[in-house]
Amino acid sequence: MNEKTRTLADKMRAWRVPQFGDIDTLHCDSVPIAQLHGDEVLVEVEVAALNPVDLKTLKGRYPTITEKDLPFTLGRDVAGTIVKGSAHAPGWEPGMRVCAFVGQGQGALADYVAVSANALARVPPDLDIETAAAVPLAALTAWQGLFDHGKLERGERVLILGASGPVGRFAVQFARRCGAHVIATASAATHEALRERGAEQTIDYEKERVEEATGDIDLVYDLVGGDAQASTWKVLKRGGTFVSALAEPSQLEASNHGACATRYTARPDGAQLDPILGLVKEGVVKVEVVERFTFDAMNDAFARLEHGHAHGKLVVRRERR
């Protein structure tokens, strides 16, 4: 049946957190189909991608989602097809293939998800749907950290702490493409891949001290936090910028360095996501999908996420019912 006329069921499957805990608390429930509000459209999920925030949410370690939000459907990244539009979302019609970072509401590990039109980007016709699903949250996190908050410009020196994960790999590529000098910290096993993506210097955090390996940094982009963050102030230029996606940087250190320091949370933004997808389609920006799981194997997917050290994205493909 045509996407524009297909009748939707009253119920859908959703992988939800009924209570915070370990992976065995994750449960697939039959729930009412997602309702639309404002400019939201209904997207039938084809592929969802997992992110560390999903595991943090499951374990009750993500402060934005509290017990009052339970049961909560996980999944921040989605690629799929619009099956129901909205009068408040002109231009987004049933049948369109889209992807998005869905924001902080009920997530994409379900048959359907409601997504704000402002978060949507069209999936380019020649772009694999799994790749499209792997882009939104990680890429937007990197883009917004470097450019919205870090104000990175051509010729500046940027130090990316924890560059081996999906956000870090996007950050290396975006920073290099804008003409910055990119220095990345990561385990030695990932150095070659990071250099291929544009890092001009790689630092093995297990064996080298950042403050001894580099200096005169315009922007520190922190994806690690903790001691690594604290030690990096020594290499930041006076008047530089310190941006963290994880932990609030020391405002005392920032004052001492005459620096701007901030922690941020990525926001959905389809207008930013659209050109990023274009770069991925053209092969200018590389995306790695390292493992694939079926919708029914969600516990296995989360076990792999918990195991860590996946230097690309884990995706879940939902079979059409």
pLDDT tens digit sequence for 156-191:
999 999 999 999 999 999 999 999 999 999 999 999
Q: Who has greater pLDDT, 321 or 133?
A: 133
Residue with tokens 């992110």: 51
For the chain, report the end-to-end CA distance as a whole number of angstroms: 13
Distance, CA of 267 to CA of 209 (rounded, Å): 33
**169 and 195, same structural domain?**
yes
Establish if 280 belongs to a structural domain: no
CATH number for the domain harbouring residue 191: 3.40.50.720
**200 and 113, same structural domain?**
no
The parent domain of residue 213 ranges over 139-263
**117 and 49, same structural domain?**
yes
Residue 152 has pLDDT above 60, yes or no: yes
**34 and 119, same structural domain?**
yes
Contacts of 270 (CB under 8 A, 6+ apart): 100, 117, 118, 119, 120, 121
Establish if 150 belongs to a structural domain: yes
* Residue 5, pLDDT score: 43
**242 and 155, same structural domain?**
yes
**190 and 159, same structural domain?**
yes
**197 and 85, same structural domain?**
no
Establish if 111 belongs to a structural domain: yes
Query: Omega before 52 cis (within 30°)?
Result: no
**198 and 158, same structural domain?**
yes
Establish if 209 belongs to a structural domain: yes
Model pTM above 0.85:
yes
Tokens of residue 203, six digits? 């630092």
Q: Are strands 72-73 and 40-50 parallel, antiparallel or unpaired?
A: unpaired
**110 and 149, same structural domain?**
no
**244 and 187, same structural domain?**
yes
* Residue 6, pLDDT score: 59
Q: For 278, phi and psi rounded to 5 degrees?
A: -65, -40
Establish if 276 belongs to a structural domain: no
**173 and 126, same structural domain?**
no
Domain count of the fold of the chain: 2
**244 and 159, same structural domain?**
yes
User: How confident is the model over 259-296, as pLDDT tens digits?
Assistant: 999 999 999 999 999 999 999 999 999 999 999 999 99
Averaged pLDDT score across all residues of the chain: 94
Establish if 292 belongs to a structural domain: yes
Establish if 283 belongs to a structural domain: no
CATH number for the domain harbouring residue 295: 3.90.180.10
Establish if 271 belongs to a structural domain: no
Find how far residue 165's CA is from the centre of its chain. Answer: 10
